[in-house]
Structure 1
Amino acid sequence: GISKDRVEIRPDELIRKTIEINPDIQMTRYGIRIKETEAELSKKNYYPDFMLGVAPIQRDGRFDAWDAMFQINIPLWRGKYDNQVAEISNELDTLKFRLKSEENIKTARVKEWVIKVETADKIRTLYETSLIPQAELSLDSTLKNYQSGNVDFLTLLDTERVLKKTKIEYLDSLITYYKRVASLEEVVGEEIMK
């Protein structure tokens, strides 16, 4: 038969876990780290570059002298660097906005699916605690009345049909519950029903 296990739902923990492990959010975080590194490196373009070199000089097949070289590149036209720094800064701001947006979207989706799971759980609980027991009591009562001759056979069959229909609806509510749990797990990015 179908498992009747229930999942324990803690919305705040699911939201935290979603924001922590969701692949889309992680990719955006990595993109932010890359852009932050690019921003740091682009600011170093304003600094002068120093180059120092030493090389042996060969005469008549022998190395008898050394050549030293020192070079400084001073960035005089800073405009191109200003544009580069501004562009990277804008890209970084865009990525940070995207991260916040993705976190908000995932949070909303987790909350939406938590409500759907809780609703499905309430429906299945209604079947377990009320509808099925009532239908079973009704069948027992109708069976006793049939045995004593107070109701006809068709009434007994109809009462049994109602019980079976209620049990089928209960199974449908279980299936709906597990489908919604699976959808919640998809949003979170991790199995929550263990």
Structure 2
Amino acid sequence: MISQKMDDAHPIVAMFPLRSPTLALLAALFLNGCASTPSSRSVEPRAVAPTETLSERPIMRKEESDSDATRSLSEWVSYALANNPRVTAAIANYEAANNEIDQATALPDPRLNFRYFIDEVETRVGPQNFAVGISQPLPWLGKLRLQGDIASEKANAAATRVSTIQNDVIAEVAHAWYELYYFNRALKIMAGNRDLVQNLERVARTLYQTGSSSHADVIRAQVELGKIENDLASLTDREAPLLARLNAALNRSPQAPIKLPEEAPIVDVPLNDQSIVSRVIGNNPELRALSFDVAAAKAARERADKDFFPDFSIGLDYIATGDARSPDVKDSGKDPIAAVFSMTLPLQRGKYKAGVRSAEARIAAQRAQRAQHINRLEADTVSAVFRLRDARRQIDLYQTTLLPKANESLAATQRAYSAGSSPFADLIDAQRMLLIFELAEARAIADHNQARTTLEELIGESLAPAPANQGVSQ
């Protein structure tokens, strides 16, 4: 019964007329073991897999439409996450690492052996013509499990690094966006200042014509106007590289149009330094990825210890035997079947010890890399918190004190100059001071948002709720 079932179940067995129930049972167990996939994986990827598969992601640049130019920052961030090639590469690395788990935990392929006897081996029951055998290598207990652990930890690290790249891309888009905000504000401020100086030049010329002012005032106004127009031209030329920087993060052509941002939120962030640092250390995705790298190195160290133990192989050999030359020989032409067992001899102890030392060195390297990353995270966090706090202080200073005073000073100086009680130099100085303060306030708003973006990149999550107030476009 067993022999009949085996003959029907597997073509290789059909070649061998199994006459022994014991051998038939051994073959059944062996072939069943070859056909099944071992469940040796001990660690599944714990990181959340990306929602998109690699085949669903674009790699080539998309064609821009007119509606693309009017997106908001959040819409551009979503666009970048869907189209940026670095995110695509990170997802591809994760998919590759995840597929390596099954490769690491699978049994080695069975071996099919064929032997042809050039000189037939004469036996009592007949000459042996050829032999066919199949065998299954079996690694030492725990080797496949540890290989699965290594591959799983690497897949965890790759999945977590998808988040690292996504955070980096978000920060890249946001930094470029807020730099464009500053450019747009500065462009409007300098254009308004040019109009102001043009008006001052007309006033100075009128007073000169009436004899109430000197020609030097007109010349000074014209010099100041020329300087502002030159600065405005230089600033205008910055638009192309700024747009190219943002478009590069979006995987768009450098000249693709983008509507310049008009405002930037001023988000108040609780700035307890130790609390922020703790959140960064606890949530930073790259630090989690490095922890998975350490775990993979530890599993590799344990796997290296297993090389000191032998691997085995079990199988069956079928020997084709011809009819006996002597007549009336019992079992004439009977084809024997042999159970085969073999094992490796791990004699190269020096090689295996070197493998252990190499694995231990990798553990030390991964731990040191993780420790260095913590040091860098702490330094970057403290620096970002300082820039955030400093920018917020400057915003308050310019908006509540310096800008109102500068506007008041310019208005008072204009009245005094028109009345002839103040020199034109004071008027130019007041105008120049207002320009400096307006540009500095716009720069502080951009710096505040960029520092907050850096903190959010380090933490891996949004920092604050709603904006407290809005930056004025002016």
Alignment map for 1:167-178 (pairs within 5 Å): 167-178=229-240
Answering whether residue 152 of structure 2 is matched by residue 89 of structure 1, we say yes
Contact 1:139 1:159 (8 Å CA) reproduced: yes
SS in 2 for 1:77: coil
Q: Equivalent of 1:191, from 228, 240, 253? A: 253
Tell me the alpha carbon deviations over residues 84-135 of structure 1, each in whole angstroms, 9 at most, x when there is no partner: 111110111111122211211221222122111101111101122x211111
Using the alignment, how far apart are the partners of 1:18 and 1:76 within structure 2? 46
* Percent of matched pairs sharing the same residue: 14
Higher helix share: 1
**1:119 equivalent in structure 2:** 182
Answering whether residue 216 of structure 2 is matched by residue 154 of structure 1, we say yes
Using the alignment, how far apart are the partners of 1:51 and 1:28 within structure 2? 37
Answering whether residue 106 of structure 2 is matched by residue 44 of structure 1, we say yes
Structure with higher RCO (Cα < 8 A, 6+ apart): 1
SS in 2 for 1:113: helix
Aligned residue-pair number: 181
SS in 2 for 1:150: coil
Contact 2:248 2:254 (8 Å CA) reproduced: no
**1:110 equivalent in structure 2:** 173
Q: Which amino acid aligns with 2:221?
A: T
- Regions of 4+ moved over 4 Å: 48-57, 66-70
Higher alpha-carbon Rg: 2
Contact 1:9 1:114 (8 Å CA) reproduced: no
SS in 2 for 1:29: helix
SS in 1 for 2:106: helix
Q: Unpaired runs of 5+ in structure 1?
A: 1-6, 58-65
Q: Unpaired runs of 5+ in structure 2?
A: 1-67, 118-128, 257-474
Tell me the alpha carbon deviations over residues 11-64 of structure 1, each in whole angstroms, 9 at most, x when there is no partner: 22332333334343332222212112211233432xx8566799999xxxxxxx
Contact 2:173 2:250 (8 Å CA) reproduced: yes
TM-score between both structures, scaled by the size of structure 2: 0.33
Contact 2:87 2:162 (8 Å CA) reproduced: yes
Using the alignment, how far apart are the partners of 2:79 and 2:131 within structure 1? 59
Answering whether residue 73 of structure 2 is matched by residue 18 of structure 1, we say no
Using the alignment, how far apart are the partners of 2:70 and 2:177 within structure 1? 7
Answering whether residue 244 of structure 2 is matched by residue 182 of structure 1, we say yes
Tell me the alpha carbon deviations over residues 130-153 of structure 1, each in whole angstroms, 9 at most, x when there is no partner: 211111111122222222222111
Flag the 1:76–1:106 CA change in 2: closer, same or farther, 3 A: closer
Using the alignment, how far apart are the partners of 2:206 and 2:69 within structure 1? 41
Q: Which amino acid aligns with 2:74?
A: D
Using the alignment, how far apart are the partners of 2:138 and 2:233 within structure 1? 74
Tell me how large the CA RMSD over aligned residues is: 3.2
SS in 2 for 1:73: strand
Q: Equivalent of 2:94, from 32, 37, 52? A: 32
